Amino acid sequence: MTLIKSISGIRGTIGGLPEDNLTPIDIVKYASAYGQWIREFRKKENYRVVLGRDARISGEMVHQLVMQTLVGMGIDVIDLGLSTTPTVEVAVQLEKADGGIILTASHNPKQWNALKLLNHEGEFLDAEAGASILELAEAADFAFSEVDHLGQVVRNQAYIDIHIDEILDLPLVDAEAIRKAKFKVVVDGVNSTGGIAVPLLLEALGVHPVKLFCDPNGEFPHNPEPLKEHLTDLMREVVEHRADFGIVVDPDVDRLAFVDEKGEMFGEEYTLVAVADYVLSQTPGNTVSNMSSSRALRDVTKQRGGEYTASAVGEVNVVKAMKATNAIIGGEGNGGIIYPELHYGRDALAGIALFLTHLANEKTSVSQLRKRYPAYFMSKKKISLTPDLDVDGILAGMATKYADEEISTIDGVKIDFPSNWVHLRKSNTEPIIRVYTEAGSQDEADKLADRFLGEIDALAKG
């Protein structure tokens, strides 16, 4: 059982002992710290926070605890109920709220849940704000409101529709071209809120959705991380229904992956590449992705005359770099697309609409579209942490060993070789070391990852 406290929120497994897991005591404690931070940071008379959740089994329990804690601190809550992470982000902006919380553990299995914390701009908290909340929580430095000053709850379950309307209004979303294409698409909603939002978006665009695992009951039918090994049902259904392609999102709908018409993975790394290619073709500019993402975005950006920047891993770091470079699109290679024209947050719904427009305009198949982009292959592996594992020492040792190569240590250790790369870093969301590699073939990428797994093991054993 696990509890992970980080600057981006609190994440853990449900049940067990306080401070070791995500228990009701921990939920109230960190919701209180966030509420106190809102009051201290915003310094005004009345406060409002947007609250939404994915469809996890524990979601209703966590939702009630967080909502009533904020009410107890004198903060009004705009309750979206079942929602998505990007929908909450959009709602914070449109409501001019003081912050937002989405209750989701993203791609983690069903026993996990989390409080993802947003600022008044609908963006994830920066390091300074996150650290302040952790300090408030540890010191229990918060006060609750007296009875005449309790907050109020306003329920608004229309925000998925409002979010879709905002997407349809984007200049680069051509709903008419999409309707004329008469696409049929299989949707894997992993029995969470993507099963609500994605079909609604597709229907609004004139696309025929074939629903797979779209019952938002929180019983994930497979590992919710949208990777090839978890998507055999989707790949089969695309072929059986003779669909144009398949869509899968994670439980909170900020990650997006496609399956082509042949039932093959488009490649989650290429979600951002394809959408960025379309956006850059219409509005030239700069791009950003994190340093664990494919080189393909760099290549496409340069072909379109823009500049590419690699940031540290984490949405807040990508957004910071995007603002600094005035990037017109960015995101993460895990299928997260950030399109500032709508908002600064990973948004699978916006990504779907832009991808559909790209496909409709190009009048080609998804498999043919994929062949247009540089052929890189990634291997993503991990090592579970144990109490005796000196992660910092291992990463420092790797940096020293490969000091003659192109090295970046802004986030773990990334080693850029001429024809491939490896990125080693401690995860912010799971007790693991991630080992990502990219090369010109899958075999080369896998062998490179296995080689570094062996080298890490050797360093760990001294």
Distance CA 63, CA 34 (A): 15
Which of 305, 307, 310, 320 lies closest to 290 in space, CA to CA?
Answer: 310
Which of 198, 343, 329 lies closest to 271 in space, CA to CA?
Answer: 329
Contact 338, 330 (CB under 8 A): yes
CA 7 from centre of chain: 16
Q: Where are the alpha helices (DSSP H) in 154-213?
A: 159-168, 175-181, 194-204
Position of tokens 């072929």?
239
Q: Where are the alpha helices (DSSP H) in 96-141?
A: 127-139
Residue 106 is a catalytic residue: yes
Which of 410, 310, 390, 349 lies closest to 170 in space, CA to CA?
Answer: 349
Contact 53, 104 (CB under 8 A): yes
Query: Which of 32, 58, 83, 106 is an active site residue?
Result: 106
Written as six digits, the tokens of 299 are 């290549």
Which of 78, 79, 62, 71 lies closest to 32 in space, CA to CA?
Answer: 71
**Residue 421 CB contacts under 8 Å (≥ 6 apart), including other chains:** 295, 414, 415, 437, 438
**Residue 107 CB contacts under 8 Å (≥ 6 apart), including other chains:** 224, 225, 226, 250, 251, 255
Contact 294, 336 (CB under 8 A): no
Please identify every residue annotated as catalytic. 106
